Chains A and B, each alone.
Chain A
Amino acid sequence: MGESVLTAHVASAVKADAPPAIVLDGVNKWFGALHVLRDINLQVAAGERVVVCGPSGSGKSTMIRCINRLEQHQEGRIVVDGIELTDDLRSLDAIRREVGMVFQSFNLFPHLTVLDNCTLAPIWVRRMPKKEAEERARGFLNLMRIPEQAEKYPGQLSGGQQQRVAIARALCMQPKIMLFDEPTSALDPEMIKEVLDTMVMLAEMGMTMVCVTHEMGFARQVADRVVFMDRGEIVESGEPEAIFNNPQTDRLKLFLSQILRGH
């Protein structure tokens, strides 16, 4: 059930004349004196899968956290699904409803069962009847291949299972865009695959995705575009093959040599 709901939902989001899902226009941000985002310009089309990579401290997490205002940018414009992100709380609420986020450290609510984690936001934010929300949540848990964990608490699950619950929780809000902030960095190697598999599945269904990740295999497999960031700037961006096989800048060459050595 979950799959059909999702694909129908995603298909409606992807139209030929749809506005870009995300526009970052001249975005700047400082942490104190530290200039962490420098003139970021990025457009993500509806249905596009973008992988953001770069060395640690390059501002990639900060950038995607600006998209749903977990961090506040100081200069420039951010437009999500045609809504500009301003200080107006209504625009922020509207954007957060359309944007799902998956965190490195899962951030499940430990005092709620897996099912309650998934139904909380649909019930309270979308005002969905409880029955319907639970039905939908079970559908997405099924899609994530963890239907049998619904009644457990997050603390009873493995890291990989927790991250899949976190993805299901975000999907239950039926977002048009999914942001992934290093979703596999906190996982054991054998659990990385199970999470990546679910992300590949989402990508194949046509979900608009922005992923910060070091998983280059994943980038090659699903990304329409890879964005390389370093020291707060977008240094290069392009199709995965071009980025990985034909890097133009020394910084990207250095980064690739480092992560490839690691693998």
Chain B
Amino acid sequence: MSEITLNTAVSGVPEAPSRTAPVRTTGAVAWARQNLFGSWWSTAVTLALAYLIVRWTIGFVEWAFLNAIWEVPVVNGQAQTQACREIKGIGACWAVITEKHRFILFGTYPFEEHWRPALVCLLFVGLYVVSAMRRFWNWTLVPIWAVTLTLIGVLMWGGVFGLSYVPQERWGGLPITLILSTFGLAFAFPLAILVALGRRSKLPAIKMLCVLYVELIRGVPLISLLFMASVMFPLFLPEGMNIDKLLRAQVAITLFAGAYLAEVVRGGLQALSRGQYEAADALGLSYWQKTGLIILPQALRMVIPPLVNTFIGFFKDTSLVLIIGIFDLLTAGKTAIVEPAWQGFGIEVYITVGVIYLVFCFAMSRYSQDLERDLNRHRRR
């Protein structure tokens, strides 16, 4: 250090005092003047948009809350929806949700047993929360998942511990959506990692198999895959043997998600410099050590945004199972308004179902942002 100061003194150049960065004018008024009312044109646009936003907000609040009907009388098991029909377009008829929420959430599951799928949904949420905590990211997650999933199976099917048996055909609503997406992604993700690694393998057979899998599955719409799983697959089975319809849909979704996720993971693998592989090789790490300790931790961190993008996409894509007659959340919502009394109240139901999807997707999205920030600490200086 002393040498450096000596040098500057000798050369006769006084050290410039370091200054703090200039203070920017801030505050809401200054900001608005600069960005919203900077010119006549900008002022005009601001006012026009403000008018539209305020009008729309007031209109929505009036429709959704002030003029809304929350309950309708039920006579002889028939909902009397005349009041709702009279205010159609002026006020929302949330009575359809009040009346039908249990059907939307749990489908045709026996009414008096609804506590079981409700508990299943809570178990799923609990499982997500626990899995999201990084302090559980070790082997303890395996028994936690195994126990929770067994519990979920017991609750849904029943037939033991005094629970009545409920066949899979009667399951429906939110549990179906959660089952399909949780199992789908939980199996698809490891599969995707293996396929992505396989696609970069030096062994031609493995590489070929992985390329074939990705290209075949990715080149086909999910709907046709679901059809194949539900209609064609049983034709190949010996007579009398029948695999659960939900399981077949589950396999189709898993395979489909796996192909997409594999390409996302491969993108991360390709972004890593060759030097990382060489350094790991030079230290004598085996292939799996290198992959598990050096390559994947870096590659997966890099692809968190597209990974979560795909996760969110598949969470919503599970609603496509409606075409093979499985009652997921969206299908249950649609079915709820088939009844003549409630026909025409689709907006309310779709908003509600949309909000449920939004809650799950937004949670995933926020979590991924936090995760990305935490895991990429090393990139900050």
A residues with CB within 8 A of B: 68-70, 93, 96-97, 99-101, 103, 105, 107-112, 120-121, 124-125, 153-156, 169-170, 173
Contacting pair B298 A110 (CB below 8 A): yes
- Known contacts A109-B276, A110-B298, A124-B289; is A101 also within 8 Å of B378 by CB? no
Contacts of A101 in B (CB 8 A): 279, 282
- Known contacts A103-B279, A105-B275, A107-B275; is A96 also within 8 Å of B284 by CB? yes
B141 CB within 8 Å of chain A: no
- Cβ-closest chain A residue relative to B376: A111
A157–B289 Cα distance when bound, in Å, is: 26
Contacts of A70 in B (CB 8 A): 278, 281-282
Contacting pair B381 A125 (CB below 8 A): no
| Residue from the set B276, B278, B284 with the largest chain A CB neighbour count within 10 Å | B284
Contacting pair A155 B279 (CB below 8 A): no
Contacts of A121 in B (CB 8 A): 283-285
A209–B96 Cα distance when bound, in Å, is: 80
Contacts of B279 in A (CB 8 A): 101, 103, 107-109
A109–B381 Cα distance when bound, in Å, is: 15
B297 CB within 8 Å of chain A: yes
20 inter-chain pairs at a CB distance below 8 angstroms, sorted by A residue, are: A68-B282, A70-B281, A70-B282, A93-B286, A97-B284, A99-B282, A107-B276, A107-B278, A109-B294, A111-B301, A120-B283, A120-B285, A124-B289, A125-B284, A125-B285, A153-B377, A153-B378, A155-B380, A155-B381, A170-B282
- Taking A101-B282, A112-B378, A155-B379 as given, write out 13 further A-B residue pairs in contact, using a Cβ cutoff of 8 Å, ordered by the A residue number: A68-B282, A69-B281, A70-B281, A96-B283, A99-B282, A100-B282, A105-B275, A109-B280, A110-B379, A111-B378, A120-B293, A121-B285, A173-B284
A103–B275 Cα distance when bound, in Å, is: 8
Contacting pair A96 B281 (CB below 8 A): yes
What count of chain B residues pass the 8 Å CB interface test?
A: 23
User: Which 7 pairs show the lowest CB-CB distances between chains A and B?
Assistant: A107-B279, A96-B284, A107-B275, A121-B283, A153-B378, A101-B282, A125-B284
B330 to chain A, nearest CB (A): 40
A169–B283 Cα distance when bound, in Å, is: 9
- Known contacts A103-B279, A105-B275, A120-B293; is A110 also within 8 Å of B378 by CB? yes
A83–B139 Cα distance when bound, in Å, is: 39
Candidates A69, A111, A153, A173; contact of B283 at CB < 8 Å: A173
A96 to chain B, nearest CB (A): 4
Contacts of B298 in A (CB 8 A): 109-111
Candidates A93, A154, A169; contact of B284 at CB < 8 Å: A93
- Cβ-closest chain B residue relative to A173: B283
A121–B294 Cα distance when bound, in Å, is: 11
B289 to chain A, nearest CB (A): 5
Contacts of A69 in B (CB 8 A): 281
A111–B298 Cα distance when bound, in Å, is: 7
A240–B380 Cα distance when bound, in Å, is: 44
A120–B294 Cα distance when bound, in Å, is: 10
A109–B377 Cα distance when bound, in Å, is: 14
Contacts of A170 in B (CB 8 A): 282-283
Contacts of B282 in A (CB 8 A): 68, 70, 96, 99-101, 103, 170
Contacts of B285 in A (CB 8 A): 120-121, 124-125
A101–B297 Cα distance when bound, in Å, is: 23
A154–B283 Cα distance when bound, in Å, is: 17
